């Protein structure tokens, strides 16, 4: 079993745990920088399949976080002009960057079917989690 495979399995487990434990997390997945390209590539996720498997830096909430290096909490996606819709059921989104050796190498992305669901605790949990995840990358 290759180390890469092992890492992907762990990330998938993280997605499943979050999906199971928090009722208003309705799509949970990872995006990572795609090699040397200025784009994100979809990694392990739990939820409905998405068309957005590649996202250029700057595009959508995910692409903006790739550039800003900051957590982006969107209480209501309909208020955002630079947003990529994956599902008509999605009402809110949170994206938290993942840093390795000080570089923004990816992110966790969570969609919710509930408006304004994300608490400060969710944000803190996800920022802690991204820090933990970066240790296995
Ligand atoms: N909504 C995201 C695209 C990814 S899907 O939510 C899985 C965005 O605007 O970047």
Contacts of 26 (CB under 8 A, 6+ apart): 19, 47, 89, 90, 111, 112, 113
CB 62 near ligand 1, within 6 Å: yes
CB 93 near ligand 1, within 6 Å: yes
* Residue nearest (by alpha carbon) to ligand 1 atom 2: 84
Domains of the chain are 3-134 (3.30.450.40)
The ligand 1 atom nearest the CA atom of 47: 7
Dig out the tokens for 97 from the structure: 């960057």
**Predicted TM-score (pTM) above 0.90:** yes
Complex-level ipTM: 0.97
Residue-wise pLDDT tens digits, 18-67? 999 999 999 999 999 999 999 999 999 999 999 999 999 999 999 999 99
CB 122 near ligand 1, within 6 Å: no
For range 93-116, the mean pLDDT = 98
The mean predicted confidence, pLDDT, of the chain is 97
């Amino acid at each position: 079993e290759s180390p890469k495979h092992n890492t992907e399995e762990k990330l998938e487990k993280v997605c499943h745990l979050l999906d199971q434990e928090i009722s208003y997390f309705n799509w949970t997945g990872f995006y990572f920088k795609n090699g040397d390209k200025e784009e994100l590539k979809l990694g392990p996720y739990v939820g409905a399949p998405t068309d957005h498997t590649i996202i250029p830096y700057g595009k959508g909430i995910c692409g903006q976080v790739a550039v800003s290096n900051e957590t982006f909490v969107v209480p209501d996606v309909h208020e955002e002009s630079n947003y990529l819709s994956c599902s008509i059921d999605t009402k809110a989104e949170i994206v938290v960057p993942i840093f390795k050796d000080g570089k923004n190498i990816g992110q966790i992305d969570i969609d919710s079917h509930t408006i304004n669901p994300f608490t400060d605790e969710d944000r803190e949990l996800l920022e802690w989690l991204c820090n933990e995840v970066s240790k296995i990358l």
